[in-house]
Amino acid sequence: MISPKSRLILHTLNDFVYFCAMNATVKTILLTVLTLSVFAIALVELSGISNTALFNKFGIGDPSHQHELPPNDAAARDEKMKSMPKTTIEVKETKFDFGKMKEGDRVSHAWIVKNVGQNPLFISNIQVSCGCTAPTFPKEPILPGQEGEVILEFNSAGKPGNVQKNALIMANADNAPLSIGFTAQVEKK
């Protein structure tokens, strides 16, 4: 009687013999497809590229362009925000002008947000109006009376002319979402 382990080895050897008997051209094509598939999967997994970014690079159908968080993390942060008691957020300046710049320049500006309420302020996300703008924000709650920074980085590549971009601060504040934004005059290369 043949053990299951031996049967598996024999089955594997049988498959190998069948594979070796195949036409060389078919083998080459199959090995090429297999190699490219493994390479593509490894590239996506190791690079951290999301399926949305990989297959929808222009963000069609996704106006929020939520760069900062993977979808499952954004959903978890949103649920946490909804479960927290309300507070009040204050931003001294809501608009900023970068002035003149050359197309292709990258610039950033930090908005100071202050928790002027009685409960911790939790920013769940920053929704930006364009893929050319990347937000950074505090991931931990901002305690009452404390401040944090919301940074918007603008990449002017492919954006010549007068530019106006906005972002929404999504938080557990009674005055949220709070809109911030910037303008710039981008000179064509």
Per-position pLDDT tens, the chain of length 189: 566 665 666 566 556 656 666 667 766 776 676 577 656 666 656 655 544 444 444 444 444 444 444 545 767 777 777 777 888 999 989 999 999 999 999 999 999 999 999 988 988 888 888 888 899 998 888 999 999 999 999 998 988 999 999 999 988 888 878 899 999 999 988
Residues 13, 77 share a domain: no
Task: Give CA–CA dist 69/179, Å, rounded.
Answer: 19
Residues 99, 173 share a domain: yes
In a domain, 53, yes or no: no
In a domain, 120, yes or no: yes
In a domain, 86, yes or no: yes
- Tell me if 142 sits within 8 A of 126, measured CB to CB: no
Residues 98, 13 share a domain: no
| Contact residues for 145 (Cβ-Cβ < 8 A; gap 6+) | 114, 115, 116
pLDDT at 9: 64
- Tell me if 164 sits within 8 A of 153, measured CB to CB: no
- Tell me if 183 sits within 8 A of 146, measured CB to CB: no
Residues 175, 123 share a domain: yes
Into how many domains does the chain fold? 2
Residues 134, 43 share a domain: no
Burial 105-132 (b: 16+ CB within 10 A, else e): eeeebebebbbebebbbbbbbbbbbbeb
In a domain, 183, yes or no: yes
Is the entire prediction scored with pTM above 0.75?
A: no
- Tell me if 111 sits within 8 A of 180, measured CB to CB: yes
CATH number at 133 reads: 2.60.40.10
In a domain, 65, yes or no: no
The whole domain housing 176 covers 71-187
In a domain, 63, yes or no: no
Residues 75, 137 share a domain: yes
pLDDT at 32: 78
For the purposes of burial, counting CB atoms within 10 Å of the CB of 172, is it exposed (0-12), middle (13-18) or buried (19 or more)? buried
Q: How far is CA 165 from the centre of its chain?
A: 18
